[in-house]
Structure 1
């Protein structure tokens, strides 16, 4: 038993290394884009670039849960044992549907869009992503589900590597047109799509007689994945509704500034998402009785690390305020939204991963839908009625904290664990961080939060000892 568990942790470790390695490049790209693009493009052009990224984040919903269903149904399977003819039929059926949707969107934009040339370009570029991103999602979900994390990482690396090479060339030439940076993003995605298709070439390039057009399989994949897709839509809307409200109520320039702050606050999520991708297929192969043992261990490792990572806020804020003085008025909001990484990490790494493995997609949807409804209410109140940017930004963290806690309470009920004391401590630390950083400045806020964090780590020392002893027993 001990050897088997150690082997699982070893597999998890290498999968995490692959995904972290590829996501390190993503983080590097995000850092370069975050530091240099706002400075070169100017506030309004950078706003359009952020608008493109914002719209693209919703493109994935146009496969209607098809890819999510495949991911959930076949997670933990061996790629070599998959029925390639059945998956070929799914691939080409999805390709046809996404091509038709893309053509309809392009026609609609050209015929009915009554906006500026810049906005029309953003919309058309977003539409091209429908085929590119969703077909790549099909490939990468199969790779993730079958635990081929190394191949998945290669696709991510190619995407970001091509993008950053072009972007660096544009930066060196001091190109200040946002359109070129959007095109660079598209080029990276298209090349990575081609590579992803080669990684599953047995599915993409079969003999004609081996394509199985199975409508019942397509319907079942959508049926299985639709709840997760709706959950993802609702999840995106939690933040998206607030951002959309800011975009409509304030200028594109303000939207760009706020988006920069959110992008910086989300940079740590690169590593979190890398780890979560590796955990899902592993958990699918673990006996459900082990979940209650594994969850507290993973939680006791992840949450202290994330809370320590909040210390990055202080040097980041100083560096960025001096580097991007035009954005100084928006960077102050980092004190409010930076802790979103605490709650997003818990959802991405822990609650959602476990609920997916337990096939509780409806519960994920329930949590996200309620959070999205609360987001709509808070946006109507703080953005449109009160027109208060401070309260609008604060609502983001409160909403994410609510979603994280509600999801964890549901999960704790299923796997029969108690987490209320840990949740209370985390809320207390985040509250101290926000209040001191916003009201007392960098130096005093940093000192008070560091002391509070020290007390928290002392309280958690018994958990660390238990983890160390468990690892020793598995050697």
Structure 2
């Protein structure tokens, strides 16, 4: 949907980049389906819970880039790869690598002396994963900032293929062992092998900014300070966003047993199949918008928000067939459908924040403001989840608290653009609230087939009531594409 606006901004190259990243993300969706539905089956609820504890803490290890990767991305975004000062970039590459090795050593020592049981294994695995993930993230930033989306996309495809292979091997082992549930350590080993392969591929591709002479001296010391100064607020703001989105899972992992956490996490696993689809635009949008005039940026902001919320509420139709499938294929995870039903509409608010608003805060050089808003929302989120647990002591209450927090987050994040751009925000916000309420009511019906048809009908009617202009633009773009064929 969004491609029409972005096409107008920057021409065919932007559209091609979005298509490339979208195709690679489609591969991630396919591999996500394998991981999302086969791994829970072969591991069982408790072992799957341990694996999801690993993935929960893995979302936090990006903090150990200390803003260097993010600062390099913000400072050099839009510059062609051939025009980069390789000696300067090599110094950043080596610096971040040495930092990761130091952190690895600290986490391993901490795990050996202070942790026991499964958590010792999980955190040692995290220390290894940390080096590979943060270095890979650094190279991904380099690929994105220099608009080398072929490199970014190809490695996503490789990762997806290797993930599918690993899941197939897990399923084979499961059936060879007469359907005995497997340990999460099996799959965790595959995850580490895949991350190692991806790191090596990036290392080979970007060897000219990794190996060789690096710039030194007091001038570069100043550059490091500047990159950290630029990148740290963005990093911390991003980590706060991650915490806000993860805080309910963190509460469930602390206050409930591993089985409950495994079932709760499965709901978010299904949710991630949709978020992967939105990340294609998020990946491309910042370097593209950075080359766009401020006047044009202001003009397209409301449209970007409209396209995003329309897409997310369309995706909510997936809840009904997924519910039917889970009840048949994974009956032990049926309880997760209630959690999924609660948190799914919250994706509209979180997607607008992460895909549109966060990129605009970067463009307007307001990372510090975004950071302070995130810290405030993080405090609200912790308080809301604590109150929900204290009063109700149920995972469902925590889920509702997280959705309420996302609505507050949306309003606070958009307040800057209401003042800066004088945007007419009421229509998009009212649309989100109406569609969220409609989904909650309709999804409570016992007949999932009737619910699906009813929600789809209401969604189509709501488009013509709230977003008639969006529908016209999409039809016009599709008509032009068909006419060219």
Instruction: Give your verdict on TM over 0.5.
Output: yes
* Equivalent residue for 1:431, pick from 426, 434, 437: 437
Counterpart residue number, 1:49 = 51
Counterpart residue number, 1:161 = 161
The answer (yes or no) to whether the contact 1:160–1:188 under 8 Å persists in 2 is no
Counterpart residue number, 1:420 = 426
Matches within 5 A, 1:372-387: 372-387=378-393
1:315-366 CA deviation, whole Å, 9 max, x = no partner? 1111112111111122222211111221222122211122212221122212
Q: Secondary structure of the residue that 1:438 maps to in structure 2? A: coil
Matches within 5 A, 1:63-78: 63-78=65-80
User: Aligned partners of 1:355, 1:387: CA distance in 2, in Å?
Assistant: 37
Distance 1:27 1:466, change over 3 A: closer
Matched, 1:16 2:22: no
Counterpart residue number, 1:449 = 455
Q: For residue 149 of structure 1, report the CA deviation from its aligned partner.
A: 0.9
Matched, 1:461 2:468: yes
Q: Secondary structure of the residue that 1:458 maps to in structure 2? A: helix
Q: Please give the root-mean-square deviation of Cα atoms over the aligned residues, in Å.
A: 2.4
Matches within 5 A, 1:172-183: 172-174=172-174, 176-183=182-189
Distance 1:395 1:297, change over 3 A: same
User: Aligned partners of 1:223, 1:14: CA distance in 2, in Å?
Assistant: 33
Counterpart residue number, 1:99 = 101
Matches within 5 A, 1:15-414: 15-113=17-115, 115-116=116-117, 118-174=118-174, 176-206=182-212, 208=213, 210-212=214-216, 214-414=220-420
User: Aligned partners of 2:305, 2:385: CA distance in 1, in Å?
Assistant: 32
Distance 1:327 1:445, change over 3 A: same
The answer (yes or no) to whether the contact 1:371–1:403 under 8 Å persists in 2 is yes
The answer (yes or no) to whether the contact 1:300–1:464 under 8 Å persists in 2 is no
User: Aligned partners of 1:119, 1:108: CA distance in 2, in Å?
Assistant: 11
Count of residue pairs brought into register by the alignment: 469
User: Aligned partners of 2:371, 2:172: CA distance in 1, in Å?
Assistant: 45
User: Aligned partners of 1:260, 1:472: CA distance in 2, in Å?
Assistant: 39
Q: For residue 160 of structure 1, report the CA deviation from its aligned partner.
A: 2.8
User: Aligned partners of 1:110, 1:384: CA distance in 2, in Å?
Assistant: 34
User: Aligned partners of 2:421, 2:338: CA distance in 1, in Å?
Assistant: 40
1:267-315 CA deviation, whole Å, 9 max, x = no partner? 1110101111011111111111111222233333332222111111111
Q: For residue 414 of structure 1, report the CA deviation from its aligned partner.
A: 2.1
User: Aligned partners of 1:450, 1:156: CA distance in 2, in Å?
Assistant: 32
Q: Secondary structure of the residue that 1:417 maps to in structure 2? A: coil
User: Aligned partners of 2:150, 2:163: CA distance in 1, in Å?
Assistant: 20
Name the TM-score, length of structure 1 as normaliser: 0.93
1:52-92 CA deviation, whole Å, 9 max, x = no partner? 11111111111111111111111111111111101111111
The answer (yes or no) to whether the contact 2:78–2:291 under 8 Å persists in 1 is yes
Q: Secondary structure of the residue that 2:129 maps to in structure 1? A: helix
Distance 1:339 1:243, change over 3 A: same
Name the TM-score, length of structure 2 as normaliser: 0.91
Q: Which runs of 5+ in 1 are unaligned?
A: none
**Structure 1 segments (4+ residues) deviating >4 Å:** 4-7, 466-473
Report the more deviating stretch, 65-74 or 337-346: 337-346
Distance 1:327 1:197, change over 3 A: same
